[in-house]
Amino acid sequence: MIFQPFFHRVAVLLAAITLFGAGVHAAPAAAPAPVPSGRTETPLMQGWRFAFGDEHTEKSDGSNWQVVNLPHTWNRIGGHSTKAADANDKRGKGWYRLSFTAGAAAAKPRRSWLQFDGASIVSDVWLNGVHLGRHHGGVSGFRFDVTDALRTGDNLLVVRTDNTAPDTKGAATAETLPMGGDWFMYGGLYRKVSLITTAPVHIELGDHGGPGVYARTVSVEAGRARVEVTAKVRHNAGATQAVQVRTSLLDARGRAVASSTQPLDMAVSSLQEVKSSLEVAKPRLWNGVADPYLYTLRVDLLSGARTVDTVSQNFGIRTMRFDPDKGFFLNGKPLALRGVNRHQETGANGWAATDAELERDYAIIKEIGANTVRLAHYQHPKAGYDLADRMGLVVWAEVPLVLLSAPYGEPTATPGFIANAEQHLRELIRQNFNHPSIAVWSIANEPNLGNVWMRPKPLTVPLLKRLAALARAEDPSRAPVLASCCGNLPGSLMPTSKGPGLDSPPEAVDVYGVNVYFGWYYSTVSGLSAYLDEMHAFYPNKAMSVTEYGAGGALSQHTDNPLGGPIVAGGRPHPEGFQSYIHEHTWPQLRDKPYLWGSWLWNMFDFGTAIRMEGDLVDTNDKGIVSFDRKVKKESFYFYKAHWNPEPMIYLAGHRYTERASPVADVKAYTNAPKASLSVNGRDLGSVDCVERICLWRNVVLAKGDNDMLVSASVKGKTLRDRAVWRRADGPGTYRVLAGQLGVMQTSAGLYGSDNFFNGGEGQLLNPPARGTPPPPKVVAGAADQAMYLAYRTGRFSYALPLPNGEYNLTLRFVEPVESQTAGKRVFDVRVQGSVALADLDIAGQAGSMKALERTVPLRVNDGKAMIEFIPKTGVAILSSFSIDPR
């Protein structure tokens, strides 16, 4: 367990060494150790052998298999611009073998269990040739009782994990959640495996992987709190036994603040529940990031004066509630939840995360200033919930009901699919019941998205109602929730002509979230506010949140103007500056909605997925605001840090856009200071007010060569600075611009900037994205470089460019993109500095369709500005790119 006090870690280590001597050994001990009376847990992490493929069986020799240690996955995916040499997206059967020796602690009548914290996706387990069972589910823990199969001495453990895609014919995963999703399902024993031994009478281990002890805060009032605890006790062997169940709540110093002891007569082969009510005087509440105070919940099973079993769990006393109009309340006080989504992938190791990698990720979440985390889209490792408890992060916990609400090829959920969904939910709740950080149990995320275009009505509602009822029965203290998609989708599921479609409306729940990508997948970012108000008005009695929003951001792709052209969400480029623009304009809209009980940006980190070729990476979703390898925090990270983290900071945007295409740039910094100053090559350009934590200096002229950019501010007497060096290959009188293009691009004629300094018109792509199989890309005949013709600005538009006084050549490039266009259908004038430079320009008539047309005209500047206008006469004007060079 991570983040434990040092003395506790030492105690655990010493106990593990002692118990290892009594229980499981790498080699036979020289002398038998005494048999412990209580519980032992021994990790089985080292010395496994692994092989991948259908040709292996549980009886395979395995001596030539690869030696691996846990956690382990054979998959490697994501984080590279091209397929990496060690990339492995194979899905199928992964086989594991481990030889180990069990000592006296495992001998009957003691009971022994194998515990798997996570194995993906369908797992079969054999011990000494005995098939212990099969577990359907790659994200939750499970246990098998191995008492009858375990030997005192040498043992052979064999595990087959199968992460075959569920749409594969005959797949064991055909009815196992999830059916799919925008992330990769890694295979293998990617979490801890251990052997647990107990006395015949013990706290239950067969409760869906749960601890057998479950507590909840019932009330907090008048300086007192009441906590209800249920302990499940099992007796497997011998005669009827009288025991006592002692339930205690210990403060951070280990002192009991409340305790209850109850006698219990345990018949053979019986299971009993013991309920206790603990009254806590002057409780210290778990109060989120402000004070994440934790008690220890401890249940001891006593036989006379001897302790035969103990289970300890972290526990926090707190209350949570939701109001449809006022949002989220923690301990009776409103708390605006602002946070991030996270996948359990930790970079190159995929799902096979170490504790150190997990701690690193949560430290980054803490740095940004988040107070909540949505653990998408499945159950995460226990250590992650533990970290959230300790850090005070309010958690949205979720099951993997995603994309489809039925198996592939099935019109509705099958009995096996329904049973598996219920299993996942029950395991999620019981295994994580005691975490104070968890606020809600999510029963689905976009569960009908795969069918939203095919079905006029969602078929998920009956299943969702069933799961919501199960969640309430399992845990009445937490609300079941649903994350639904999206913005404007075909076939609105709401009975209003203009209502945004939802793949699954929140009929089954009272608390829900919507995944919204305004400005990325659809609409404009400014349309989000009206959408949220409409949704809130349509469901006035339901508490609403925003569970996803964001945009892709590629570290090597840039823009001079995020409005320069259309974004290709499913392609390239994904300029980092465009991601910043989406977040800068989304967050204030979310923050200013008091009825939103929470919002989570998508995503904290880039992550692997086998369905994307976007931005500058393959097999990677680049919506993270931190890079796949965690080495780079993107611009958007610092925008949120300026808003959420009170620690004084300043960050100069554009650290990676060092080779500048434009001679004039807007300089931007993020800070929580009220004002900031800018200097370029030591020249003071003055201070500006920082609005929405954004400081902006317009039209800063960049010199040829290096430009040392320094931003500075002062907060509470602390001076803040950040700097970068931006380089220009040309002087202030040279422009290279791609009209209608969002991204900066290297061409044969040098670096060309994205569209900028325009007024009017619309940016369009020569080869826009298409559904299904795209047509062959259009190729511009006679083009010196195709990159100069990939987009265009069309309509009635103009450019006003800052330019030193002097004589210049203006080169304009055109193409008629309509392949069937005839002469006379598109005619326009080009005016330069108010005079017609090109009259009655008819691209199709002069060059033909899909053929490059280039014209160079003189340009004289007397007042520091160049004005270029495109005036339609017939149809609309059009421009592909232009350049300006001093004569």
Report d(CA 708, CA 445) in Å as an integer: 47
Identify which of 246, 243, 248, 303 has the alpha carbon closest to the alpha carbon of residue 270: 243
Report d(CA 301, CA 307) in Å as an integer: 6
Report d(CA 250, CA 258) in Å as an integer: 7
- Are the CB atoms for 71 and 194 separated by under 8 Å? no
Identify which of 736, 686, 678 has the alpha carbon closest to the alpha carbon of residue 707: 678
Report d(CA 141, CA 431) in Å as an integer: 8
**In which element (H, E) is residue 741 found?**
none
Report d(CA 378, CA 185) in Å as an integer: 11
Name the phi and psi angles at 263, rounded to 5. -75, 155
- Are the CB atoms for 811 and 883 separated by under 8 Å? yes
Q: Give the max Cα distance, the chain.
A: 106
Report d(CA 338, CA 484) in Å as an integer: 19
Contacts of 380 (CB under 8 A, 6+ apart): 139, 342, 344, 397
User: In one letter, which amino acid is 128?
Assistant: N
Whether 446 is catalytic: yes
Identify which of 85, 84, 96, 99 has the alpha carbon closest to the alpha carbon of residue 53: 96
The strand pairing partners of 12, in sequence order, are: none
Q: Which of 204, 446, 548, 614 is catalytic?
A: 446
Which pair of tokens denotes residue 640?
A: 């949120």
Which pair of tokens denotes residue 328?
A: 């989220």
Report d(CA 850, CA 356) in Å as an integer: 56
Identify which of 782, 745, 445, 770 has the alpha carbon closest to the alpha carbon of residue 602: 445
Q: Where are the beta strands (DSSP E) in 446-568?
A: 479-485, 511-515, 543-548
The strand pairing partners of 710, in sequence order, are: 679, 723
How many CA atoms are closer than 13 Å to the CA of 176, on its beta-carbon side? 22
Distance spanning both ends of the chain, measured CA to CA:
70
Question: C-alpha distances in angstroms, 722 versus 190, 296, 668?
Answer: 40, 44, 11
DSSP codes, 431-450 = HHTT-TTEEEEEEEESTTGG
User: In one letter, which amino acid is 619?
Assistant: D
Residues with catalytic annotation? Answer: 446
